[in-house]
Structure 1
Amino acid sequence: MDGAEFDEVLAFLATFEGGSFAAASDVLNRDASIVSRRVSALEARLATRLLERSTRRLAPTEAGNLLYRRMRSALSMMEEARNEATETSSIASGSLRIALPATFGQRRIAPLLPGFLAAYPKVTIEAEYSDRYVDLIHERFDLAIRLGNLSDSRLIARQLASNERLAVASRAYLAQHGTPETPDQLAMHVCLANPRLEGYPEWKFRNGDTVHTVRLPFRMTADDSSSLVCAAVAGIGITVCARWLIVDELASGQLVPILSDWQFTHGGGVHLVRPSARYTPLKTRVFIDWIVDRFKVQPW
Structure 2
Amino acid sequence: MDRVTAAEVFNRICELGSLSAAARAMGMSRPMVSRYLAEMEQWSGSRLLHRSSRKLTLTAAGEQLLLQTQALQQLAEGISQTELQQSVAGTLRISCAHFTARRILNPVLNSFLTQHPALKVEVMISNQNINLVAERIDLAIRITNELDPNVIARRLGDCRSVLCASPEYVAAHGTPHTPVQLSQHNCLHYSNFTEGRWQFIDHSGAPVTVDIQGNLSVNESSILLDAVLNHAGIAILPWLDVAPYLAENRLVAILPDYQPQTLGIYGIYRSRLHQPLALKLLLEALTAFLHQ
Same fold (TM over 0.5): yes
Separation (CA, whole Å) in 1 of partners of 2:288 and 2:111: 12
Match of 2:226 among 222, 227, 230: 230
**1:55 matched residue in structure 2:** none
Which among 273, 282, 285 is matched to residue 278 of structure 1? 273
Q: CA RMSD in A?
A: 3.9
- State the SS of the aligned residue for 2:83: coil
Unaligned runs of 5+ in 1: 1-5, 7-15, 18-23, 25-37, 49-62
Q: 1:51: which partner in 2?
A: none
Kindly state the Cα deviation for residue 144 of structure 1 after the two structures are TM-superposed.
Answer: 2.1
The alpha-carbon distance between structure 1 residues 205 and 278, as it changes in their structure 2 partners (threshold 3 A), is same
Q: Using CA pairs below 8 Å that are at least 6 residues apart, which structure has the higher relative contact order?
A: 2
Structure 2 counterparts to residues 148-297 of structure 1, below 5 A: 148-153=144-149, 154-160=151-157, 162-197=158-193, 199-207=194-202, 208-265=204-261, 267-297=262-292
SS at match of 1:139: coil
1:181 aligns to what SS in structure 2? coil
* Distance of 2:78 and 2:111 partners within structure 1: 24
Paired residues in the alignment total 246
Q: How many angstroms does 1:123 deviate by?
A: 1.9
Change (3 A) 1:173 1:47: closer
TM-score by length of 2: 0.70
Instruction: After TM superposition, give the deviation of residue 135 of structure 1 in Å.
Output: 2.9
Is 1:129 matched up with 2:125?
yes
Please list every run of 5 or more consecutive structure 2 residues that lacks an aligned counterpart in the other structure: 1-5, 7-33, 50-57
Shift of 1:91: 2.6
Deviation at 1:181, TM superposition (A): 0.9
Q: Shift of the alpha carbon at 1:40?
A: 9.8
Q: Assess, with a 3 A threshold, how the Cα gap between structure 1 residues 295 and 221 changes in structure 2: closer, same or farther.
A: closer
Q: CA deviation at 1:131?
A: 1.0
Asked whether the 8 Å contact 1:106–1:129 carries over to 2, the reply is: no
Query: 2:155, 2:264 within 8 Å by CA — same for their partners in 1?
Result: no
TM superposition shift of 1:254: 1.1
Mapped pair 1:146 → 2:145: no
Q: What's 1:56 paired with?
A: none
SS in 1 for 2:222: helix
Paired letter, 1:123: L
Overall identity of the aligned pairs, in %: 26
